[in-house]
Amino acid sequence: MAMANNEKRCFTCGENTTHSCEGCPKRFCSIHMPEHQQSLIKELNHISDDYNKFKQTINEQTPNLHDLALINEWEKNSIEIIQQKAKECREIVIKLSQTPLNDIEKKFNGLNEQIQQHQKQNDLNEIQLNYLRNQLRRISEELNNPIKISIEQYSQTFSNNISIILSKKLKFNKWKQNAITVAGGNGKGQQFNQLNCPAGIFVDKDKNIFIADHWNHRIVEWKYNAKEGLFIAGRNGKGSRIDQLNNPKDVVIDQENHTIIIADLGNKRVTQWLNRQQQYLIKGIACYGLAMDKYGYLYVCDIDKNEVRRWEMGEYKNKGIVVAGGNGKGNQLNQLNCPTYIFVDEEQSVYVSDTNNHRVMKWRKDAKEGRIVAGGNGERSSLHRLSRPQGVFVDDLGQIYVADCDNHRVMRWCEGKEEGEIVVGGYGQGHQPNQLNYPCGLSFDDEGNLYIADRDNNQIRKYEIIS
């Protein structure tokens, strides 16, 4: 009974007369019941305050407008990138589909003109007939071996990217290993049938060879199958007059304008010769290698400033634009060390023989630095190295040919490969038909025959293509 009475007493004062608080296990007298209710209201207010504070915290965690703006900007930029990539791919497909056909049509029209000219003049011989037959065969091979285009898609973090894949099979041509002498080869000298340290060479569409005859301070032309050369420039001996040359290193022929452009290294100038008339193009430049692209831009290697500059035709009074190097002598990707010969491809990418770095560099148009596409592993004779490379040429398939001067050989490299392969030479230094003696200039004719300026043998070697 005592237990029951205690349960009905006031929780605060113990009074017998009590009232229950509904929902509470405790009882209170009339005096303490209001106090109990006030305490409950006070607790409710605390809960309400805690709720409001928590609500404010939640509101503060809501993404703000700046975050949303960043997301919107990312969305916009991503769409623009995808649209730009799609545009570039469309342009590549159109160009790759049309350009080979245009080139084949151009070659075909040129061949047709030659055939008509021979028919009109009635002067065809066995050599010319073989040349025309080989030209037609090469054009037919190009037509029957078109570039096949496929689309490759690969996953990225936020979208899929695509690229153009060319499935045209590389054709690894081969040449006879025993060369024939097509210019010089009669000892060192300055007679019409002699050369003295030939450097850069240029072979035109008629197989005429233009030679920078370095120590003879002249440019000579050897007509196809000729026994001796013709003076083109520098017939007045070494000197600095406008009609003289001083250790020329390279020559290019502007076949459309019928002009000869010369790297007159000893006089630190680039000159132009047209119908025996001479003029300065660029002064005050340690010019070594020269190249001209399909748009008529002239590229000049400056070995003193370790850079390559480009000039627009007729704008030679300005300083030109640096397209490779120009960041001092060095071996970083944005530097060169004694650049010599150069080649410019259809996309205006510049290939440079970076001689003292024993590598060939490729600088894409408007690039801030180049990439190594041959050599760059020190100066040795193994297949992944070069030793003081000189002349350089890149074919239509992007295969890089380089005169590996101090290794007395010519190498072929495919971009992205770690090592190259020997094309000709590589049998030691010498004067035998399968040997070279410090090869410098390098060129090809329309049939794919390879020409080398065999410097210390004082001759131009021709290696005939066999496949």
Q: Are residues 193 and 276 in the same domain?
A: yes
| Banded pLDDT at 162 (limits 50, 70, 90) | low
In a domain, 67, yes or no: no
pTM: predicted TM-score of the whole model, two decimal places:
0.68
C-alpha distance from residue 248 to each of 287, 290, 403, 457 (Å): 9, 11, 19, 18
d(CA 111, CA 30): 123
The two structure tokens encoding residue 429: 């230094």
Task: Please give the residue that has the higher pLDDT: either 343 or 21.
Answer: 343
Q: Are residues 159 and 297 in the same domain?
A: no
pLDDT of residue 379: 82
Q: Are residues 154 and 293 in the same domain?
A: no
What CATH number did the domain enclosing 228 receive?
Answer: 2.120.10.30
Q: Are residues 254 and 141 in the same domain?
A: no
pLDDT tens-digit map of 57-108? 777 666 666 667 777 887 888 888 888 878 877 877 777 777 677 777 777 7
Q: Which helix (H) or strand (E) holds 229?
A: none
Whether 375 contacts 360, CB under 8 Å: yes
Task: Give me the mean pLDDT over the 385-412 stretch.
Answer: 95
pLDDT tens-digit map of 187-222? 999 999 999 999 999 999 899 999 999 999 999 999
d(CA 300, CA 369): 18
Q: Are residues 217 and 302 in the same domain?
A: yes
Residue 19 phi, psi dihedral angles, 5° rounding: -125, 145
In a domain, 259, yes or no: yes
Q: Are residues 462 and 332 in the same domain?
A: yes
The number of domains in the chain is: 2
Whether 404 contacts 427, CB under 8 Å: no
pLDDT tens-digit map of 300-358? 999 999 999 999 988 888 889 999 999 999 999 999 999 999 999 999 999 999 999 99
Q: Are residues 130 and 215 in the same domain?
A: no
pLDDT of residue 1: 37
Domain that includes residue 357, residue range: 174-466
d(CA 463, CA 440): 15
In a domain, 378, yes or no: yes
